[in-house]
Structures are given as C-alpha cells and as structure tokens.
Structure 1
Amino acid sequence: MTEDQKPDGRWPVWALALVSYPFMAGAVATNVFFASLIGESAGWPVTIPPIPSILIGMVLGVPAAWITGRWFRAKIDEAEGHSENGT
C-alpha cells in the first residue's frame, strides 16, 4: 500500500478531482462560450468561438475540478460522519 492510499478506503481529494475533471472542463467551456454570446447580445464586440472556449475550459477546469473534489470529500465525510481530524 502506498502512503497516499487511505487504509479505510476513502478517496483522497486529488482522486475525486481527477474523476470530476472532464465534467468540470466541459462545464467551464460551456459557460465561457455562452457568456461570450450573452456579451455579444449586450453589445460587446467579440464572441469566443467554440474551440478557444474548449481550450479555456481545459485550463480553468483544473481549479474547478480541485474545488469540486474538495466539496465532494467534505460532503462524503459529512454523510459518513467523519470529523475534520479524520475520526
């Protein structure tokens, strides 16, 4: 067993973030694209095309996935009755 594996079978934050990354990258890319469309309807000159939106989503999906992983870990701990100190 490596030192980053939990003996009680709990998923670490990095693993939860890794699993959620494709969903978070897609959500960010979609939000960036639609925000640019809203900006265009508000009179702003530039609409971000889909490919740059996907690239932005891939980059900004990393912190979004990490935040989501931390949130998942907290919710799982809450549901299982774990406290902050791991008991």
Structure 2
Amino acid sequence: MTPQPSWRLLAALYPFGSGAAAVNIFFASLIGSWIGWRVFSPYEAVGWGLLLGLPATFIFARHIARLMQQADKG
C-alpha cells in the first residue's frame, strides 16, 4: 500500500512541481507553434503550471513517501 504524503511534504514540493510544469507547458507550446498552434504567454504557462502542478506534485510526493517508508524499514 502506498503511503499518503504529509501536507508538509506536499507544500515543500509544490513550488518545484508547478514551476516544472509551467516550463514544460511553455516549451511544449513553442514546439506546437511549428504546426500552427499559438504560443502561450509566460503568464498562461504559469497559470496552467499552477493547475497541472497539483496532481504531478501529489504523485511525486507519494513516491517520496514510499521511499521514506522503505528507508525506515531498513
């Protein structure tokens, strides 16, 4: 069973998860411009990064909590 991450761990990882998501979304929009899609502004990318950073951070925090649990077991 995968342990649930603490709120402190989620709060510590969220800025990194949302920032990484924003950068990836912005660069993906630049690649999308090659096929005619519009490029997101940095503000739009940050907005989407804040939104999509939540599930990404939760998944990564569960992984970290599982690793911490394994380290405690020995």
TM bin, normalised by shorter chain, reads: 0.7 to 0.9
* Maintained 8 Å contact 2:22/2:45: yes
More helix by share: 2
Aligned CA RMSD, in angstroms, stands at 1.5
Name stretches of at least 5 consecutive residues in structure 1 with no aligned partner: 1-11, 83-87
**Length, aligned pairs only:** 70
> Deviation of residue 67 (structure 1)?
0.9
Match of residue 52 from structure 2 = 60
* Maintained 8 Å contact 2:9/2:61: yes
* Maintained 8 Å contact 2:29/2:37: no
% of aligned pairs identical?
36
Relative CO higher for 1 or 2, CA cutoff 8 Å, sep ≥ 6? 2
Kindly report which structure 2 residues correspond to 1:1-87, keeping only aligned pairs within 5 A, or say none.
Answer: 13=5, 14-41=7-34, 43-81=35-73
2:16 maps to amino acid: F
Deviant stretches of 4+, over 6 Å: none
The higher radius of gyration belongs to 1
Name stretches of at least 5 consecutive residues in structure 2 with no aligned partner: none
TM-score by length of 1: 0.72
Report the secondary structure of 2:38's partner residue.
Answer: coil
